[in-house]
Structure 1
Amino acid sequence: MKYIFYYNTKIGRIGIEENGVAITRLDFIHKDVQEEIIEKHETVLLKEAIKQLNEYLDGKRTSFDLPLEPKGTEFQKKVWNALKEIPFGETRSYGEIAKIIGNEKASRAVGMANNKNPIAIIVPCHRVIGANGKLVGYAGGLDLKEKLLNLEKNNEK
């Protein structure tokens, strides 16, 4: 059974989804959500996820300790696992992630996988920037990406 619950946070409205075992999605809600065929129910796991997310947004948490099961291709999962290894307060370029996963010519594919990350913030795709150091693409918008990076920069332990 899938469960989803919607929360108002410091960064706006988000939806967190889980499958009974692990977190499967974290979405930024930019408009009214259509009713879905997913039970809206706040589970123990969803409560823990929002608790950890709020601690992160308050500058009190630098990493997440949640079971995760993002759905994607093997390549995407490889990229997302590499994203989880980027330390709090640091960034990597798409090319650097490509090298980390052993395919240095795959920076565009890394960008596409980054774009498809279903568990934003917890799988920190906001920590990936362009090779020139510029902020590029983010599901929550570049303003939010900059805000998250600044939050991390200002709260490094």
Structure 2
Amino acid sequence: MRVLTKFYVKELTTPIGLLTVVMSEKGLAHVAFGAMNKVNLTARLTRFGIKPEWYELEEDESLVCEQLTEYLNGERHDFHVPIDLIGTPFQKKVWLALRTIRYGETKSYKEIAEMIGAPKAVRAVGGANNKNPLPIVIPCHRVIGSNGAMVGYGGGLPTKERLLALETNMKIS
């Protein structure tokens, strides 16, 4: 049985391009680079027993949109919005660990695996990182290869590099 859930969608023009923000009644559920692919997101939600009902977000400015804009303008280091994490228990564990990486810092996939008590699950951590539904808010861009290399990012490596440069330049010594 699937639970009918309302989701509210808002497109936001930002310095890194179009972002699509998706909120449930519980909180921020998804951030997409560019226009949202409702078919793919519906399929993903269905796997978790959710039947989405889509609505446009009527508000001109939501707290989430304000905070994303402030972050991308270098005016915010942390997000304080309710979130609705939809994923497997392992994915959620990884995503919660990602939230502990401080602004301007990076960690390797190996370090994240060690943080969650699964030091041999480096590839699984990479897979969970790749499925992060809340890029930027859950800072998967702060995860790099253990050799310091920039590796994979849903928004593309140039966007990852731009986000890390934004944080490094804004970092207070």
Q: What's the TM-score, normalizing by structure 2?
A: 0.84
Pick from 93, 96, 100: which aligns with 1:81?
96
Corresponding residue of 2:17: 12
* Gaps in structure 1 of 5+ consecutive residues: none
Pick from 63, 68, 78: which aligns with 2:83?
68
Corresponding residue of 2:159: 144
Deviates more, 1:90-99 or 1:5-14: 5-14
Partners in 1 of 2:58 and 2:78 — Cα distance? 22
Count matched residues.
155
Q: Contact conserved, 1:3 with 1:43, CA < 8 A, in 2?
A: no
Corresponding residue of 2:54: 38
* Gaps in structure 2 of 5+ consecutive residues: 1-5, 43-52
Per-residue deviation at 1:21? 2.1
Per-residue deviation at 1:85? 0.2
**1:96-125 deviation per Cα after TM superposition (whole angstroms, max 9, x unaligned):** 000000000001000000000001100000
Match status 1:21 vs 2:36: no
**1:39-58 deviation per Cα after TM superposition (whole angstroms, max 9, x unaligned):** 112348x7111110111111
What amino acid maps onto 1:19 in structure 2?
S
Partners in 1 of 2:132 and 2:76 — Cα distance? 21
Partners in 1 of 2:18 and 2:83 — Cα distance? 21
Pick from 105, 109, 126: which aligns with 1:94?
109
Partners in 1 of 2:140 and 2:37 — Cα distance? 23
Q: Which has the higher strand share?
A: 2
Partners in 2 of 1:132 and 1:53 — Cα distance? 30
Structure 1 runs of 4+ with >2 Å offset: 31-37
Match status 1:132 vs 2:140: no
Alignment RMSD: 1.8
Q: What's the TM-score, normalizing by structure 1?
A: 0.93
Identity %: 46
Q: Contact conserved, 1:115 with 1:139, CA < 8 A, in 2?
A: yes
